[in-house]
């Protein structure tokens, strides 16, 4: 059986280093907000080419904390792609703001820059882009419009660690929100997240907000929450970050095998020199997606669907988007299939997947 992803296999190359880090933290007796978090924050900020990175509990919290600290008036509108993972939209709703869905570009699966301006109203406060599947959004238009209309840019980078647009890192265009959930390209062994920013005050406020609104122990300046990255996860993340380039190269190599080997019946991801893709997910589209998934499973190949139900059709979102229709999101969700592309997936496994796919 070729697995979609086996997290034990993906992490095995780092076991010795993880164990070393774990022992050190265990011996130190310091488990929350210590040197290990501080070091990782510095390393990660350098990686994203931003002055500040602040560790938080998970990716959803990274988005929520960014919005909370921006402190928009309730009911303000946040533009967000209609085909994103539900967490992006949850962050907006959790802050009592209004998500305004923008359809993606069917070629890139990312927010269609041509559809942003028409959605901007007096209530619009931010564009929340999502660098989905590990491909950066077209950021020229996004940043130009943000400047023109005085909007904040928040980047959901949960799938895009190291992905670039025109040589610039995702998470360095606006406010970056990262997840370190185990399956992500930079994944820890539990939950974790980070916010990146170039604004010193904003960084300070996120730091306070994640820790009860307190900078100095037992003195509270704002009404904060507890959303901290812990020492052990930060330690594991420092290990993984050192190897992230190797992880990315491996995924890019597997993606290039798919690109070269798959027959033309499958719609494969767009490749373009302006985009450095990190392939958190390698998807193809096919009108008979469900049949294809079943065919692959019969041939001992496991796949995933990212995602089976678009946000506007989720039960939780009933009544939120009224009668609006999002045919491009619907089309992507009905036809997309994700193929194995993890750090633990081998080239020969990918060649096997290609061989079976081409018989479909
Ligand atoms: C994983 C993910 C999140 C949420 O991250 P968690 O760490 O699981 O909270 C948010 N947005 C996108 C696009 C994701 O893929």
Tell which residue, 230, 267, 273, has the closest CA to residue 357: 267
Q: For position 237, what pLDDT does the model report?
A: 98
**pLDDT, mean over the chain:** 98
- Bridge-based pairing of strands 98-102 and 124-130 is unpaired
Residue 270 CA to ligand 1 center (angstroms) comes to 23
The pocket around ligand 1, CB under 6 angstroms, is made up of 58-60, 84-85, 87-88, 130, 156, 158-159, 179, 181, 191, 193
The CATH code of the domain at 7-102+110-242 is 3.40.640.10
Tokens encoding 295: 């065919």
Residue nearest to atom 14 of ligand 1 (CA): 158
In tens, the pLDDT along 139-151 reads 999 999 999 999 9
Residue 241 CA to ligand 1 center (angstroms) comes to 18
pLDDT level of residue 116 (50, 70, 90 thresholds): very high
Distance of CA 316 to the CA centre of its chain: 21
pLDDT level of residue 39 (50, 70, 90 thresholds): very high
Mutate to test the pocket of ligand 1, among 78, 135, 179 (most ligand atoms within 8 A of CB): 179
Residue 156 CA to ligand 1 center (angstroms) comes to 8
CATH domain 244-357 topology? 3.90.1150
Q: For position 289, what pLDDT does the model report?
A: 98
CB 213 within 8 A of CB 224: yes
Mutate to test the pocket of ligand 1, among 55, 56, 58, 60 (most ligand atoms within 8 A of CB): 60
Q: For position 158, what pLDDT does the model report?
A: 98
In tens, the pLDDT along 170-189 reads 999 999 999 999 999 999 99
Q: Which residues contact 234 (CB under 8 A, 6 or more apart)?
A: 36, 37, 39, 40, 41, 55, 192
Q: For position 232, what pLDDT does the model report?
A: 98
- Assign 74 to helix, strand or coil: coil
DSSP 99-150: EEEEPBPTTTSSB-GGGTGGG--TTEEEEEEE-GGG----HHHHHHHHHHHT
pLDDT level of residue 120 (50, 70, 90 thresholds): very high
Measured distance CA(291)–CA(293) in Å, rounded: 5
Residue nearest to atom 12 of ligand 1 (CA): 158
Are domains 7-102+110-242 and 244-357 of this chain identical in fold? Answer: no
Q: Rounded mean pLDDT of 266-270?
A: 98
Mutate to test the pocket of ligand 1, among 181, 184, 228, 278 (most ligand atoms within 8 A of CB): 181
pLDDT level of residue 53 (50, 70, 90 thresholds): very high
Residue 360 CA to ligand 1 center (angstroms) comes to 32
User: Closest ligand 1 atom, CA of 85?
Assistant: 13
Q: Which residues contact 26 (CB under 8 A, 6 or more apart)?
A: none
- Bridge-based pairing of strands 152-156 and 175-179 is parallel
Residue nearest to atom 1 of ligand 1 (CA): 158
pLDDT level of residue 106 (50, 70, 90 thresholds): very high
In tens, the pLDDT along 205-250 reads 999 999 999 999 999 999 999 999 999 999 999 999 999 999 999 9
Residue 242 CA to ligand 1 center (angstroms) comes to 22
Mutate to test the pocket of ligand 1, among 156, 191, 193, 194 (most ligand atoms within 8 A of CB): 156
Q: Which percentage of the chain shows pLDDT scores above 90?
A: 100
Annotated domain spans of the chain? 7-102+110-242, 244-357
In tens, the pLDDT along 300-314 reads 999 999 999 999 999
Q: For position 249, what pLDDT does the model report?
A: 98
């Amino acid at each position: 059986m070729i697995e979609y992803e086996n997290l034990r296999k993906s992490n095995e190359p780092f076991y010795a280093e993880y164990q070393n880090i774990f022992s050190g933290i265990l011996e130190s007796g310091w488990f929350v907000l210590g040197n290990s978090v501080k070091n990782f924050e510095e390393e990660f900020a350098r990686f994203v080419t931003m002055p500040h990175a602040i560790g938080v509990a998970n990716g959803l919290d990274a988005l929520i904390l960014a919005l909370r600290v921006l402190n928009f008036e309730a009911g303000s509108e946040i533009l967000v792609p209609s085909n994103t993972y539900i967490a992006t939209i949850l962050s907006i709703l959790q802050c009592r703001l209004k998500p305004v869905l923008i359809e993606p570009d069917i070629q890139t699966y990312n927010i269609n820059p041509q559809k942003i301006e028409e959605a901007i109203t007096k209530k619009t406060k931010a564009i929340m882009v999502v660098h989905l599947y590990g491909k950066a959004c077209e950021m020229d238009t996004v940043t130009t419009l943000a400047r023109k209309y005085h909007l904040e840019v928040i980047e959901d980078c949960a799938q895009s660690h190291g992905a670039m647009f025109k040589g610039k890192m995702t998470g360095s265009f606006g406010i970056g929100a990262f997840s370190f959930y185990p399956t992500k390209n930079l994944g820890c062994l539990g939950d974790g997240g980070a916010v990146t920013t170039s604004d010193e005050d904003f960084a300070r406020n996120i730091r306070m907000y994640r820790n009860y609104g307190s900078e100095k122990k037992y003195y509270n300046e704002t009404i904060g929450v507890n959303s901290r990255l812990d020492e052990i996860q930060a330690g594991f993340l420092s290990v993984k970050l050192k190897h992230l380039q190797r992880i990315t190269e491996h995924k890019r190599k597997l993606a290039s095998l798919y690109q070269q080997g798959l027959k033309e019946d499958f719609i494969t991801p767009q490749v373009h020199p302006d985009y450095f893709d990190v392939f958190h997910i390698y998807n193809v589209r096919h009108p008979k997606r469900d049949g294809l998934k079943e065919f692959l499973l019969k041939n001992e190949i496991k796949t995933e669907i990212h995602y089976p139900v678009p946000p506007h059709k989720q039960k939780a979102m009933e009544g939120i988007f009224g009668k609006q229709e999002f045919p491009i999101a619907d089309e992507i969700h009905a036809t997309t299939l994700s193929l194995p592309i993890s750090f633990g997936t081998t080239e020969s496994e990918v060649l096997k997947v290609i061989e079976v796919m081409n018989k479909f």
